[in-house]
């Protein structure tokens, strides 16, 4: 079971339905597709970030400070914004987490995923905000359970990506993550869409 499988294992049908209602999406199938896409992109972005020692160190520090995996004890609350108190504010700060993971690429990724799965940009952005703490929570849990060091975290993420990507998937994911902000590749990305990402997202 790779890292994406672990993430998807947290998302029951009830959790997807709750996330749909919270984000105003009237189609749980679209929510699930978008969720899979978002989790794939965040995993890819984290794998890219941790390929350098500085990036891996920054992630390790964030997990040590703010993400011990305890948020996974209330998945429904996490996904609907109703999680109980007692957490460090950064633990639940999806906007801040996305800023660290995606940087200037964030708006481009939101727009690309929205086009691919047929959602509005604000719906896609809300999904990303709710899912980002889940991703780091799962990483924090794995780090604690397996006593992972920086290399271990990097390997966990990069192995997931390498197991799922074929050459076409690699190209589309990298293009979205590495693209500058001019958006000129958006139509091509939307046209390639979910068919190109299928093996990566749903395997």
- Six-digit token pair at 60? 């390790």
Asked if 33 and 117 count as a contact pair (C-beta separation under 8 A), the reply is yes
Helices assigned H by DSSP within 67-166: 75-80, 94-102, 106-117, 121-146, 150-164
Can you read off the two tokens belonging to residue 203? Answer: 């395997």
Q: Sign of the CA dihedral 172, 176, 180, 184?
A: positive
Residue range 8-25: mean pLDDT, rounded:
94
Distance CA 75, CA 80 (A): 9
pLDDT tens digits for 32-79? Answer: 989 988 998 899 889 989 999 999 999 999 999 999 999 999 999 999
pLDDT digits (tens, 9 = 90+) for 154-201: 999 999 888 876 544 444 555 566 554 444 555 555 554 544 444 444
């Amino acid at each position: 079971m790779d890292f994406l499988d672990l993430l998807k294992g947290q998302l029951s049908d009830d959790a997807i339905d709750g996330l749909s209602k919270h984000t105003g999406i009237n189609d749980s199938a679209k929510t699930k597709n978008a969720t899979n896409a978002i989790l794939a992109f965040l995993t890819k972005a984290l794998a890219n970030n941790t390929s350098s020692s500085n990036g891996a160190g920054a992630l390790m520090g964030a997990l040590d400070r703010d993400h011990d995996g305890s948020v996974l004890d209330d998945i429904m609350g996490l996904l609907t914004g109703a999680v109980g108190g007692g957490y460090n504010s950064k633990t639940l700060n999806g906007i801040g987490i996305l800023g660290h993971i995606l940087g200037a690429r964030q708006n481009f990724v939101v727009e690309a995923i929205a086009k691919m799965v047929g959602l509005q940009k604000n719906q896609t952005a809300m999904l990303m905000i709710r899912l980002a703490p889940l991703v780091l929570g799962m990483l924090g849990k794995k780090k604690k359970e397996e006593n992972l060091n920086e290399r271990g975290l990097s390997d966990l993420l990069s192995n997931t990506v390498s197991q799922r990507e074929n050459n076409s998937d690699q190209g589309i994911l990298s293009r979205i993550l590495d693209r500058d902000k001019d958006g000129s590749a958006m139509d091509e990305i939307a046209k390639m869409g979910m068919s190109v990402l299928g093996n990566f997202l749903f395997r």
